[in-house]
A and B are shown apart, each in its own frame.
Chain A
């Protein structure tokens, strides 16, 4: 599961709804990243994108979390693995 096909990754904000991805790294200021980690967006965490409109809604750690697009752009994820 942890083998990644792409090590470069792309922002969560550009991930298609319905895909499941893995967090590669967080790019942003420290307090923001700390908050993201505490909400479950740790490196390696599995994220399922549910909705990507004015904001990004995803399933992480079993619950539904909404992010503003700017924040979702700071989360770099692996290439999608569709289900």
Chain B
């Protein structure tokens, strides 16, 4: 199994960047010492349990908690009555304005429950069994309403409406909706570039297809958790696994209407997030229970709660129409995307609309999108949110066009690839990007050029795009007398970013990665830092670390100047040492050793704000074998080529590419929420919601392409999200080559594939 490395040879010779040191938190994680959210133990701690709605859509007429409160060992019971009323307040929570009523009623339902599993009340007791038993004694009077579970049904004027405060918001060129009547359509988006309708008239070939994708979950292994202490002085501490300690702090404070600085969030190790551990669920409830009981309270979800009340990424309906010239150049694109928002507005249909045509250069295009409420859990970000659904649709049609034109699918993509200067349909013009390079990498790969023999076997490729975020990050660094540096950061570490940040700091200061000791600290102990999301940490927190290293460097230069009795202007710093005007050298270690006699401690700091990434692209190639009797699709071989800009720690870059690809394989082949007619999820376990096991997949080959991002000092591009985008399309294209059917529905589970084969 070859793993190619196409990293640039023209770049500076780095000493630390591009090496593969053991991660700093590694030993803790292989010995079981690492403390995750559920591992928190506090003196006098109570355990809590949540009552959740058994119905998908109902009015809550009354909640009687008296029997639960009477159970010996029960210390507090809370319902939405314990949360302040938020009216129509909109609050900026770091990544866009949030409707506080929607956030609050998702945390604890008000007068309506909008999905099965919707939180209704919570109990804190001496132990978790008592809490769970007491929860069963809470009496809730529901009046059942008809649920709506399908995105297109929910758009019908006669559909049951979930939220009476939702009106259609117009984005881009969409017509403003009717403001008078409540609706499930929360957003209507329209992007246009040129006149697509006219351009389709000139097309040599037009293909239009419809796609359906199922609701899927991020599937992190660690359930959500929160432990909270409301202290007698009104100060609140929350221990939790989260992608963003600062956003949890702000959401919690806003929900409880207390000053943000009265809340301290201590980020514990986090067992996966993929976008699903940004919004608060349990944290405010644990705080309320702690306030009521006067004791620390711990609240942990079980797996069914995680499936039924958190996560998912939208099911969707997408229609794509593409037109090409006789030579195979795209002339027009038209897309219609309707995404399920779940119970409250906020599906990633916006990014879906921006991503759907983002890999290619469309002279004209029209994209229309709808954000639609349905009686499912409120959707959340999931690794390149919105892009995978869109990529599945567009790259399947691209494959069909290539086949009809008789052009090699990689060549067809290269002929139409987006590059620097291409304007996206939604407006922005690309900076330097590596779309072409990733397709070339696959086209030239041993995999793509190897023969694929045997019946019912096929090969497919697809490309994907994700923006990647910049946002805000803070880092501070203390030089220790023994020549090490304590590095403090606010980005919670889900996949080895302590090390990728420390390596950039080390490279800048000319020291080893091992000499840097990174720590992720609480919200009182580091500057504001946005979420670990948007593939931004190695990029943006990396920039903050480089800035902190430069700050330290400037101070070390002054110390060296003091030692040599010269002006700091005459001292330079390179290769981990200060160099004086007369050929003197002081290594970093030597300056560090003398800090206390040259002016005392050296602390550097750095921030990153408002630096945008230039975008990430990946091209995947997959070989499958389809069992014609059962419809089961087996992955035989899989290769990911991705532009990482500059790979700081190649192992963890490969890890993101491999992990993202396998999540995409699960989305493509197995994963879906099964609902019954009443809106009850019938497969809320890992047995029935089947994510890939290691027996389902082969080794995932990787080709790291490096087209440095001009917006980062070392050229880093985020790598976390884009690898989930291409798998469904690549696999669908391979299935077509294998058995001649075009799969237009996800997941491509055996019954669906078999049904298409039998239709032939």
Chains A and B belong together in one complex: no
